Amino acid sequence: MTTTTQPPTPPPTPPASTRPGVWAQLKPLVLRLHFYAGVFIAPFILIAAVTGLIYTAAPNLENIVYADQLKVEPGQAAMPLSEQVAVARDAHPDGDLVEVRPPVSADGSTRVVFIDDTVPADYNKAVFVDPYTNEVLGQEKTFGQWLGVRAWIDDLHRNLHLGAFGRNYSELAASWLWVVVLGGLALWFTKRRSDRRARRLLLPETSAKGRRRTLSWHATIGVWVALGALLLSSTGLTWSRHAGANIGEIRQSLSWTGTSLSTSLDGSGATDEHAGHAGHGAAAGSADAVVTDGVGIDGAVASARAAGLRDPLVVTPPADAASAWSVSENKRSAPTRSDSVAIDPATGQVVDKVAFADQPFMAKLTDWTIDAHMGILFGLANQLVLAAIAIGLILVVVQGYRSWWQRRPTRGGRAGRAPVRGSWRRLSPGVLVGVVVVVAAVGWFVPLLGVTLVAFLVVDTVVGRRATSTETGPGRQHPRSDELKVERSADAP
């Protein structure tokens, strides 16, 4: 008797409802993006963190290096500002007067700033005068509010002293920092979601060994610095070359920009866009006669004080005969004061006033976050927090590279493998469309991120095709299962 062997019953087709969720589909893509950004963009973030760490000490260095120009012996009564400006002009006979900064404290000097053709573009020359004796204490180049050493460190952090081209480095770091941070947080928190103890999220696994221990340090330090890193990224983008222009347009369209002070006396609507902000490269004033004509600089400052303005003040002379004096507060530490007034040079009357309290909240928030980024909003505490964030970012980058090296194959001495390919192909149509739309929008808004992301995709595609053709060519076998296992083990951040 013949027995018929029945073919095995095929496993049931899983219903569509068992399709992986959105995060399950996105996780391999986020992991691969985090890997590429960590390998290729992390050097830029590392340089920005190191130069930013140096910058946190800039205010203290400035006070030490220029102590002889910034500090004086307090006297009985200060000389008129007009006399101090005249003394400064004698010491610096060339170049238009840009602004005057009266002393903030009893032991402070007066800073009189002129255009100077001997200093780099966007710089001016500041002459320091003892307000009690009218003695000239020295001259230093100045970039807005910053003197030489601080301006040099500022340039190092912004553009590595490479000019406009160098600004691409800091913009690249700022453009990718938030992507790296948010992606890393998502990977780490979803990995730890089964363990509800905060300790597993916020503290490293000191008992772990090898790459797991490295990843633990990398991730937990990243969690601690995440908020500060996101703040630095967003504020850094506001004054970047490419993304900054797009941010400016959006702020304008949403009325998130502050009101500028009108310095026009004839109704032409001329404004002093630097009033209250002490901007770099402020417009120069006209002939020095404005210092004494009409109410002069002393009358303009007296009118500003009568209008409620307090030190520190920035006094800008009229640009021409149809313009007013501009006097602005420049207290950028909390609580900030940034009121501005325009003073008629003939009568001393206030012809316009812009109060910081009346500015849109988002305009004030922008100023506050930028000042926090620069370490001046909360003084020494602000500098220490920035230094801690910078050190944390340095450690995160170093640990990330260490983890990459530890993941290398034990044979061949090659660097660590990238996470497994094909994450795009595993996305459902709806998720894929959403990802493409978001990537396109972000790439347009933050151009350097978009360009480098496209470069990553092109390189990854080319490398993947070459690897596939090499592994499956004549006489070659598919990659060994143990190597595939190593690739798939990259599921951890």
Q: What is the pLDDT of residue 483?
A: 39
Per-residue DSSP letters for 135-199? -EEEEEEEETTEEHHHHHHHHHHHHTT-HHHHHHHHHHHHHHHHHHHHHHHHHHHHHTTT---HH
Confidence of residue 194 (pLDDT cuts 50, 70, 90): low
Confidence of residue 487 (pLDDT cuts 50, 70, 90): very low
The sheet with strand 350-354 has its strands ordered as 146-147, 136-143, 124-129, 110-114, 97-101, 313-316, 325-329, 340-343, 350-354
pLDDT tens digits along 102-158: 999 999 999 999 999 999 989 999 999 999 999 999 999 999 999 999 999 999 999
H or E stretch covering 434: helix 429-445
Q: Are 294 and 345 in contact (CB under 8 A)?
A: yes
User: Which residues lie closer than 8 Å to 198 by C-beta, 6 or more apart?
Assistant: none
N- to C-terminal Cα separation, the chain: 61
pLDDT tens digits along 292-344: 889 999 999 999 999 999 999 999 999 998 999 999 999 999 999 999 999 99
Nearest CA-CA partner of 273 in 285, 265, 263:
263
**Residue of 462 and 163 predicted with greater confidence:** 163
Spatial separation of the C-alpha atoms in residues 35 and 180, rounded to whole Å: 9
Q: Are 335 and 373 in contact (CB under 8 A)?
A: no
| 3-class state of residue 281 by DSSP | coil
Sign of the dihedral defined by the CA atoms of residues 383, 387, 390, 396, in that order? negative
Spatial separation of the C-alpha atoms in residues 430 and 60, rounded to whole Å: 54
Confidence of residue 428 (pLDDT cuts 50, 70, 90): confident
Average of pLDDT values for 271-275?
54
| 3-class state of residue 329 by DSSP | strand
DSSP lists the bridge partners of residue 97 as 114
Q: What is the pLDDT of residue 316?
A: 96
Amino acid identity of residue 426, one-letter, is R
pLDDT tens digits along 389-409: 999 999 999 999 999 888 876
Q: Are 289 and 345 in contact (CB under 8 A)?
A: no
Average of pLDDT values for 11-20?
56
Least confident piece of the model among 4-13, 40-49, 403-412: 4-13
3-state helix, strand, coil in the chain (%, to 5): 50, 10, 35
Q: What is the pLDDT of residue 283?
A: 45
Q: What is the pLDDT of residue 284?
A: 45
- For the record, the structure tokens of 354 come out as 């812009």
Instruction: Please give the mean pLDDT across all residues of the chain.
Output: 86
Cα–Cα distances (Å) from 77 to 8, 112, 438, in that order, read: 104, 19, 63
Nearest CA-CA partner of 88 in 108, 109, 72:
109
**Residue of 390 and 16 predicted with greater confidence:** 390
Nearest CA-CA partner of 167 in 176, 156, 181:
156
DSSP lists the bridge partners of residue 100 as 112, 315
Cα 378 → chain centroid: 17
The CA-based diameter of the chain, rounded to the nearest angstrom, is 126
Spatial separation of the C-alpha atoms in residues 71 and 107, rounded to whole Å: 6
Q: What percent of the chain has pLDDT over 90?
A: 63
Spatial separation of the C-alpha atoms in residues 424 and 348, rounded to whole Å: 68
Q: What is the pLDDT of residue 290?
A: 74
The predicted model scores a pTM of 0.85
**Residue of 226 and 427 predicted with greater confidence:** 226
Q: What is the pLDDT of residue 421?
A: 67
pLDDT tens digits along 465-486: 776 666 555 555 444 444 344 3
| 3-class state of residue 469 by DSSP | helix
Q: What is the pLDDT of residue 12?
A: 53
From the number of C-beta atoms within 10 Å of its C-beta (0-12, 13-18, 19+), residue 1 rates as exposed
Nearest CA-CA partner of 186 in 235, 233, 226, 234:
226
Domain boundaries, the chain: 19-72+145-258+369-493, 73-131+259-359
| 3-class state of residue 292 by DSSP | coil
Cα–Cα distances (Å) from 65 to 32, 141, 149, 371, in that order, read: 47, 13, 8, 23
Average of pLDDT values for 351-364?
95
DSSP tag of 127: E
Spatial separation of the C-alpha atoms in residues 96 and 109, rounded to whole Å: 21
